Structure 1
Amino acid sequence: MIKQFFIISIIFSQFLVLLPLAFSSEKPPRAIGGFILGSDITDYPDIENSNFLKEVVIYDWHGFDKGIISYAICEKPGEIVRIKLKYSDSSKKYFDLLLDKYKEKYGDPSEWKGDSFGILHIWKWKFVDENENRVHLILQHNTRNPNENTGNMVKLYYPDNIIREQACFSKQCSQNINKATEEQLKQRAESNWTYLIPQ
C-alpha cells in the first residue's frame, strides 16, 4: 500500500512539473533585441565590432600551460602588442625562483601591484626599448583570486601600442556611425516589446 502511494506520488509530481510545458502555447525563445540564436553575425550589418585587438590561444608551449597572444587589427594589423603566458608550475616556490631569475636579468621591479592579503603577488617592471616603445613586464602569482588565473603568469606588453590601436578602432567606429544614414540610425533607435522581450 505504501509502495503504491509512493509510486503514485512520483507520477503525480512529474505530471505537475511537465504541466506548464504541456500547456505552453509558446515555442522556446530564440531572439531578443532583433538578434536570433543560430543566425549568422553577418546578418546584422549595422553592428560595430567592440574588440580592437584579436587574440590567439596557445597550449603546452615551452614550459607554459597556456597563453593568449593579442595582436593589432587597425593601424598596424598583425603586430603583437601583448603576450600573457601561464607557467606550467603553479607553486609559490617556483614563483620565488622566477622572481630571482627576473631580478637577476632585469634588476629590481619598478613597482609592487599585489594585494596586502598575500593572495595576489604582482611585480611590475617598466622599460623603454631602442625604438622608444614603453615595455611593461609583469610577473604574478595568484593563490585564489577568482578574477585572475591561479598559479604563475607573465605578461609582456606595449602599453602605448594598445592605446594606439584602441584610438584607431574608436575612430573607425565613429566614421562608420557617421556613414550610417539618418533613417538607419532612427530605425536602430526604435524599440517595442518585440525587441525587449525574448521571442
Structure 2
Amino acid sequence: MKKKFVCIVVAFVCCVFSGWVPALAGDTFPTTLAGFRLGDVVATYSEYCHLEKAVPGSDAPFLSEAMIKPNALPGVRGGSLIFGNCLHKHELVGIKLKFHDRSKKLFDRLYKRYVKEFGEPATYVGDAFKNVIAWQWLFTNDEKEEVALVLMWSRSPQMRPGVSIKMTHKTREKQELDCYLAMDEKTEKMHQKSRVQSLAPFIPR
C-alpha cells in the first residue's frame, strides 16, 4: 500500500514539472464560450445574432432564443444565445454552437481537450445506439451555482448531424422557471380557465 502511494505521488510530481496537471470540473467554473459570457446582457452581442427575431421558446416561455448569424464566428455555422424573460431579463442563460466541420474527428479532438481541462465528464447524455454521442460536465462555484457543459456529436437526421456545444447556467435557468411559474399562477388567478366543450374541433379532418 505504501509503495502504491509513493508511485502515485511521484506520478503527480512528474505531471507538475512537465507542465500538465489534470484539471477537475470542481476546480473551475467556466462562464465564457467563444467570447460569449453567461450573465451578460444579450444586446452586447447583437452583431453576432438575430436579436430582432428572438422569440420565447414554445416549451420554455421563460427563455428566449436568438439565432447566431451564419459565419459570425470562424468555423461556426450556427447556434443560439438563450436569455431570460423574467427574473434576469435579457441576460444570457445559455449558449449553443454548431460547427461547419461535422466530423467525429472534431468531436474527438474537443472531447480529449475537455477531459484534459476539466477531467472526466459527469454523465453520458447521448443514446445507447451512439447515433447521438453526448457527454456532460457539471461545474459548481462557491455560491452553489451550477453550470452544465454538453459536447455532442450526432449522425441522426432528427438532431441535425454534426458537432455542437451547449453551455447552460442551470441555476439561472431554474430561477427563470420559478419566476415564470409564480407570475403564471398570478395570471391564472386573475383569469378563469375555460374548459373544452366538445372534442369535435380537435379531431383532424
Same fold (TM over 0.5): yes
Larger Rg: 1
Q: Distance in 2 between matches of 1:50 and 1:111?
A: 24
Q: How many residues align?
A: 144
Unaligned runs of 5+ in 1: 1-48
Q: Distance in 1 between matches of 2:203 and 2:130?
A: 45
Alignment of 1:47-86 (within 5 A): 51-59=61-69, 60-62=71-73, 63-86=75-98
Q: Report if aligned partners of 1:120, 1:145 keep a CA contact under 8 Å in 2.
A: no
Unaligned runs of 5+ in 2: 1-58
Structure 1 letter corresponding to 2:62: F
Residue in structure 2 matched with residue 168 of structure 1 by the alignment: 179
Name the SS of the counterpart of 2:189 in structure 1. helix
RMSD of the alignment, in Å?
Answer: 2.5
- Report sequence identity in percent: 27
Instruction: Please state how far the C-alpha of 1:50 moved relative to its aligned partner.
Output: 6.3
Q: Distance in 2 between matches of 1:99 and 1:196?
A: 47
1:177 aligns with 2:149: no
Q: Distance in 1 between matches of 2:120 and 2:108?
A: 14
1:112-170 residue CA offsets vs partner (Å, 9 max, x unmatched): 22223221111111111354310100000001151x23100101001121121111111
Name the SS of the counterpart of 1:116 in structure 2. coil
What is the TM-score when the length of structure 1 is the normalising length? 0.64
1:143 aligns with 2:155: yes
Instruction: Please state how far the C-alpha of 1:195 moved relative to its aligned partner.
Output: 6.6
Name the SS of the counterpart of 1:61 in structure 2. coil
**Selected match of 1:152 from 154, 158, 163:** 163
Q: Distance in 2 between matches of 1:84 and 1:109?
A: 18
